[in-house]
A and B are shown apart, each in its own frame.
Chain A
Amino acid sequence: VLHSARPLHTTQQSLAPLPPLPEKGGEVRYGLIPEEFFQFLYPKTGVTGPYMLGTGLLLYLLSKEIYVINHETVAAACILSVIIYGVKKYGADVAAFADKLNEEKVAKALAVKNEAIKGLETAIEQEKKEQWRVEGRNYLFDAKRNNIAMLLEANYRERLLTVYNEVKKRLDYQVAMQNLKRQKEQDHMIQWVEKSVVQSITPQQQKESIAKCILDLKALSKSAQAAV
């Protein structure tokens, strides 16, 4: 459960980066006695004070048999001499080797850190590039808007054309219907008139008209004969 109201990182203190280790350890004389002891006795006894103290202490321990000399003393002396010889001879080499190991460790960590920094820097550049790209949004939207407007316009015009065609078809139909009706009426009327006329010609009228035609023809032939 994270209490969102709790403030984080209220103090300046932080665990990273760690302060670097001190270069050298505390000063120690003869590998056994810290330098502070000599400094502590210096104001009162000068430089030789601690040595005098050491000698006196040693003689006291020996004389009072607080430190007994037995076979262990000889063994200790041999071991100590061997150890001191070893340290004096090979100390520098061991130190160099340890330093090299340390160097490698530090170099690896540093390499990791540099890699991380480089990666983050490239990420930053790409991010900036993306931000620059964002500015081109406007052109993109304009182009899209144009496209959509064109689509709408084309669609509208298509539909307009369809409407026009449909209306024209209906009007043509009406016109054709009217024409047909008029023609049919005309034909029918002509037929009916002809039929009624033919019917109305009774045989009496037929004879009279034929006689009239013959008379006319005779008159015409006479005048034609005269002309010729």
Chain B
Amino acid sequence: GPLSERRLMDVRLGELPAWLATCNFSPQGLLGGMQKAWSSYYDKYINVKRGGPAGITMLLAGYCILSYSWNYQHISKASFLGSV
């Protein structure tokens, strides 16, 4: 279909800048994009009849990685004597 209506995973690498240009970067647009991303994740992994651990473990792993990246500066400065 047309470029603006395709999801990110269906966009080829060469078309990425064009696709980014068609994106709506206003607050409503960003909010809508986040809403869509969350609802697609939710419908795929959590809102099912027999879900497994995958639904929340992926969220927790993402949270771990995100908080590690936020605290990276502080962690990397840890003194030698204090660790272990």
Contact = CB atoms under 8 A, between A and B. Distances in A.
Contacts of B68: 67
A158 interface: no
A28 interface: yes
A24 B50 contact: yes
Interface string A22-42: 111110100110100000000
B54 A25 contact: yes
A124 B13 CA distance: 63
A102 B46 CA distance: 15
B46 A25 contact: yes
B17 interface: no
Given A21-B48, A32-B61, A26 B54 contact: yes
Given A24-B48, A32-B61, A102-B49, A70 B75 contact: yes
Chain A interface category by residue count: 20 to 34
- Residue from B44, B47, B49 whose CB has the most chain A CB atoms within 10 Å: B49
Interface string A106-147: 000000000000000000000000000000000000000000
Chain B interface category by residue count: 20 to 34
Interface in B44-76: 44-55, 57-58, 61, 64, 68, 72, 75-76
Contacts of A95: 50
B84 interface: yes
Contacts of A87: 53
A65 interface: yes
- Residue from B46, B50, B64, B76 whose CB has the most chain A CB atoms within 10 Å: B50
6 contacts: A25-B44, A25-B50, A25-B54, A25-B55, A28-B52, A32-B61
Interface of B: 44-55, 57-58, 61, 64, 68, 72, 75-76, 78, 83-84
